[in-house]
Chain A
Amino acid sequence: MRSSDNNVLLSVRGLVKQFATKSGPVKAVDGVSFEVGRGQILGIVGESGSGKTTAGRAVLRLVEPTSGEAVFDGVDLFGLSEKELRPYRRRMQIIFQDPYSSLNPRMRVGDIIGEAIDTHGLAKGAARRVRIEELLARVGLSAEHARRYPNEFSGGQRQRIGIARALAVEPELIIADEPVSALDVSVQSQVLNLIQELQRELGLTMVFISHDLTVVEYLCDEIVVLYLGRVMEKGPSRAVHAAPRHPYTRALLATAPIPDPTVKRERVILQGDIPSPLDPPSGCVFRTRCPHATEACAKVVPPAEEVGPGHSVACIRHAELFS
């Protein structure tokens, strides 16, 4: 996919987000690039410190990016003033992990959804009420739920309310940050189905951020694997799953617990901890835990190399190891 391609809704290039901390600057996101096609779900997967949440927020400018660009429908969002950005805010929405803290407990559900409609002046009076009812129905809730408060709902229902609020402004892009991680397993699957319905029926484009590779592989069309702020591997989710070319992706796949006791898998247990982003390793950031690391890995930051259609990997040894 090229960014000039009309099928690309969002193209992020060289995204860097640096935070100033007491111990010095931290690059939470260090040169991340990806593209999201219209109507597609892109999954960003990574462990803690991978920068996945920061990347999502920087794209929406909920945190100000340090450098890079995010071209949304042909316009670089990072080059816009706050005022110029406003119309784009309506077209891009975010869904948060914790459905308990992300809904105002003092507002009725109808007003939580209505507030988004009012902010962008999308409907008034009876039309507004009808719209709220439509949105509740769309996420599997009923019209009478509009009069209730968030604390009267279960976690799964609250996440549906969060989704209805995001949908209220008819966005083209939704960034969902771990939207099912806080939910019980039986409820998770309901929300994953809802997301798929929204993709199919509304043609929504989504960036789905998660630590759970199983969920990402299932739900997403494309996958970006992050580690310590950098992209290790990206590509169509089936290709990444079937033929992972980065040692980190392979380790993630090998360690994700599979609910089948008869599966005998290659045990790739990574040694050690994720290094501190304050002091990332030189060269390849993964090399301190990589079972295949050599001296050369410490010297250069591995460039992304194409290994298949839309499939790239940042590892200098991938060809000799996994071809």
Chain B
Amino acid sequence: MAHSAAVPVRPEAAMLADDVMLKADDLQTHFIMGSRAAKSVDGVSLTVRRGETLAVVGESGSGKSVTSLSIMRLLAHPGRIVGGRILYRLRDGTVVDLATTGQKLMRSIRGREIAMIFQEPMTSLNPLFTVGDQIMEMVRLHEPVSRNEARARALEMLELVEIPAAAKRLDQYPHEMSGGMRQRVMIALALACRPALLIADEPTTALDVTIQAQILDLMRRLQREIGMSILFVTHNLGVVAEIAHEVAVMYAGRVVEQASVTDLFARPKHPYTKGLLACIPDPKRDRATDGSRRMLDPIPGSVPSIMALPRGCSFAPRCPLVEPACEAEPPVLERAGVNHLTRCRRHELL
């Protein structure tokens, strides 16, 4: 763990600045299979501020989804948090470490304090119940309200997420709705108990672009109105640019860069982030005035398997700036500007 035994034990509240909702500190989540452990999350630290959106961006195998499932403590066997802390501020002001919170308290936190939405709404919606029943159940699980009050809340939630003819939709089943509508229902369900933090794992990835735009717009509006914090997990840097205040870039189980959204896109301080941005076609950049195309500048190779990570920096085999020291030992997070962290020993070259 990051803090040594010499540091006196302090109340956890003192470790969370007033404007911080959630702070993961050196989180380690492993999938243990016999004598081998896949270190899916290997020392992740990140901060979600009150009323802001932190985007966690990464490619397949980066550990971005496992990080969000660790926070919710929804890891499937054999996944386990084996180290680090996840400090979270409850509504009443007390700070808990979600990494070690008991299951009973965790159940009261899920839905009421922190809610989660997924890429595929059908994984969270029960096909056998109407959407109204599902929202009502969620409300009544956490709040002492009557059926009628819960139904009124469900209707209010469907209206909040701009579902047309909400009163009629209340009695429909998930399969009677389009993908975009289901995603709205899932957001309504997630927000029914007014959580302070919403974790959204690729919530628009399965949607068409015109529907994605609606959902992103909705999430921005809800954040403004309700003041909730959002941890938004995505692989899409375009979506990041639209929704995030802060960004954490993950690669092979680690955060390799964290910065404000404007800083990250304007001055990437990790060769991986810089490479990712260069990979995305940009008609303005990639077309000459005569219309001819410029080739893209890809990152060579592919994302490494977490079962066979290099000894030093995980990105070293694909990195244009690699030097022998990079391959010898993993880099630490270094400061590369105000609120700008990078896990690259050569970031000054960027």
Contacts and interface: CB of A to CB of B under 8 A. Distances in A.
Given A189-B297, A252-B210, A259 B240 contact: yes
A217 B281 contact: yes
Contact of B283 (A155, A157, A218): A218
Interface string B229-264: 000000111111110100000000000000001100
A271 B215 CA distance: 11
B303 interface: yes
A230 B312 CA distance: 53
A188 interface: yes
Given A190-B298, A257-B241, A269-B217, A218 B261 contact: no
Contact of A269 (B213, B278, B287, B299): B213
A156 B281 contact: no
Interface residues of B, number: 50
B296 A259 contact: no
A214 B279 CA distance: 12
A126 interface: no
B303 A186 contact: yes
Contacts of B208: 47-48, 211, 274
B302 A157 contact: yes
A273 B178 contact: yes
B235 A270 contact: no
Interface string A241-268: 1000000000110111111111100010
B96 interface: no
A254 B298 CA distance: 26
Q: Count chain A CB atoms within 10 A of each CB in B164, B216, B279 and give the residue with the most.
A: B279
A213 interface: yes
A219 interface: yes
Contacts of A258: 238, 241
B234 to A, nearest CB: 10
Nearest to B304: A154
Contact of B280 (A213, A214, A255, A269): A214
A252 B208 CA distance: 10
A214 B213 contact: no
Contacts of B242: 257, 261
Q: Count chain B CB atoms within 10 A of each CB in A185, A214, A267 and give the residue with the most.
A: A185
A185 B302 contact: no
Interface residues of A, number: 45
A196 B293 contact: yes
Nearest to B278: A189
Given A186-B59, A187-B302, A218-B283, A262 B262 contact: yes
A292 interface: no
A314 to B, nearest CB: 18
A252 B262 CA distance: 24
8 contacts: A47-B208, A184-B302, A185-B279, A211-B209, A214-B281, A218-B287, A269-B217, A274-B210
Given A47-B208, A189-B297, A193-B298, 9 more contacts: A155-B60, A184-B303, A186-B299, A189-B299, A211-B209, A213-B209, A217-B281, A219-B281, A271-B214
A192 interface: yes
Q: Count chain A CB atoms within 10 A of each CB in B181, B240, B281, B303 and give the residue with the most.
A: B281
A218 B293 contact: yes
A259 B280 contact: yes
Interface in A209-231: 211, 213-215, 217-219
B291 interface: yes
A101 B214 CA distance: 32
A251 B238 CA distance: 16
B16 interface: no
Interface in A23-60: 47-48
Q: Count chain A CB atoms within 10 A of each CB in B178, B210, B281, B299 and give the residue with the most.
A: B210
Closest 8 A-B residue pairs measured CB to CB? A257-B238, A218-B281, A255-B213, A47-B208, A189-B279, A189-B298, A184-B59, A186-B299
Nearest to B178: A273
Interface in A170-199: 184-190, 192-193, 196
A187 B293 CA distance: 19
Q: Count chain B CB atoms within 10 A of each CB in A156, A238, A257 and give the residue with the most.
A: A257
Interface string B177-209: 010110000000000000000000000000011
B280 A270 contact: no
B180 A261 contact: no
Contact of A196 (B180, B262, B295): B295
Contacts of A274: 178, 208, 210-211
Given A186-B298, A193-B295, A217-B283, A269 B261 contact: no
Contacts of A155: 60, 302
B333 interface: no
A254 B287 CA distance: 19
Contact of A251 (B210, B212, B279, B281): B210
A189 B302 CA distance: 11
Contacts of A241: 283
Contacts of B286: 218
A1 to B, nearest CB: 17
